[in-house]
A and B are shown apart, each in its own frame.
Chain A
Amino acid sequence: MEFTALFLAVTTVMLVVWRGPRSLALTLFAVVLIASVATYLHHATDTLKLSF
């Protein structure tokens, strides 16, 4: 679900960049980047299924 939200957020940022005000686009970009890093840190603790 978190990735659906992330892709939806990126799509929204792109649409705002293309059609909306620049300042809002930059703010949303920052939110998406922070959300990406937060998602990464969350999944960095995933259990690994090593194949050897």
Chain B
Amino acid sequence: MKKGIRNIIRIGITYFIVIVSLVFFIFPILWIIYCSFRTQSSIFTGEIISPVKEYTLENYETILSVTDFITYFINSFQIAIIVTFLSLIFSILAAYGLSRFTIRGKNVIILGIFSTQMFPKVLLIIPLYLIIFSFKLLDTVMGVVFGQLILVLPFSIWMLKGYFDNIPNDIDASAKIDGCNILQTLFYIILPIAAPGIMVAAFFSFVVSWGDYLIVSIVNQSQRTATLTLVIQRLSSALLIRWGQVAAATTLTIVPTIILFSFVQKRLVEGLTAGALKE
């Protein structure tokens, strides 16, 4: 009997936490999506629900036709894809090297890579700006890409190394006996096994690049490299803010990451914490 009551209390507390969490973590997202379908005047009434005729696609039409939103969307996409691709190449090779080979001073290298996480990015961007300037990469896609690489690479290497460490060494050994060289072993044998981890690393790079504001804000000078984060920031700090349009632009910015997230969702934590969960 006593156990039954305890159980009910436990379930009650659990659902209480679940409901509070949903309201706090999910509601703000739903609210801005909801308001992106309302007219400016209906948002300004300060009511939660408006008459049916106040719901509209007008905000999206305006954003997509009047502004260069599509250009910015393509910029964001292009930059994020290149960052993801490059960071995967660099971090897969490095993580595999660190995971499988006896290298003198390996622990120092690993600690060194991890400790770059504590370099203040606002300090790094001062010389970074000058480097990008001297390479003549200001206001170019590659300028943004190289800047953003430093945001993702250290964590990506650390994460993938954790993932590779969990794959038994015997697999490499048997591939070697079958006559595979290192790169063949890595690409034909190890990568397919590590595919979930690679997906998470790719997702991480994409999301960081897609959401970056700091690097873009210093490299960007024109429409050529303006990304969605810059644009929604500008829209939302205008003198007269059109909240319906801001909501629509914000929705279009967050939806791609949410769609990608739904694909990797199950693997995400496993991948992100692979480095922490071993041992």
* A and B from one complex: no
B residues near A, CB below 8 A? Answer: none
